[in-house]
Amino acid sequence: MPGAVFLACVATQGLAVLAGTLAPAYGAWLARAGFALFCLGVLLYLVALHHFALRQVVTGGGDQWVAGGAAAISALAGSKLLTSPVWTGGAPTALRAAMPALLALAFAWYFVLAAAELARPRPHYDIRRRSTVFPLGMVAVVSLTSASATGIHQIATAGRAFLWIAVLAWLLTLAGLLRQIRRGADG
């Protein structure tokens, strides 16, 4: 399947991020619900990875990047939940253990997908390129926000670089969209 198969994980982890963000205001029950969603999101990621056609890394139209974005939003959800002050006795051990692995997975996908783009450029515009911009931005956000949660402060420096790469990708995608619209209006 194409990269869109990871969207179930992205949606679930988005709810886990929200739960982790709101838990300090609404209580530990929301952090526990967020942790359950986080675990479900990781499970959905593994199921999606099983069904993902790896050849999409080289041949995909842009949505193959969601594989990396799903790992990044999973790490962001873990980071939000890990730093929540509502845990009595500390955050779940599974959450602490998962964070470095999810960060490593998100960074690995980022570099594998970027290398595939460089090895086989696809300069034509495709609507699925919006799916490329999201993961680039998500890796930047998780890098900037997870430095304190993991104690690996160098990640924030990488996050600032990733942020500018995401902005550039967004501008290139916007230019492609505008060119496509202009062609449609001229044609």
Q: pTM surpassing 0.75? A: yes
Return the pLDDT at 87.
80
Rounded to 5 degrees, φ, ψ at 165 are -65, -40
- Give me the half-sphere count of Cα atoms (radius 13 Å) on the Cβ side of residue 122: 21
Separation of alpha carbons 114 and 108, rounded Å: 10
Look at residue 187 in the predicted model and tell me its pLDDT.
57
Give the gyration radius of the chain's Cα atoms.
17
Could you report the average pLDDT of every consecutive run of 10 residues in the chain (187 residues)? 92 97 94 95 97 92 91 94 83 84 93 91 79 88 84 87 92 88 77
The residues, any chain, with a CB within 8 Å of residue 72's CB and separated by 6 or more, are 106, 109, 110, 135, 138, 139, 141, 142
| Structural domain total, the chain | 1
Residue-number span of the structural domain to which 147 is assigned: 3-186
User: Which amino acid type is present at position 98?
Assistant: A
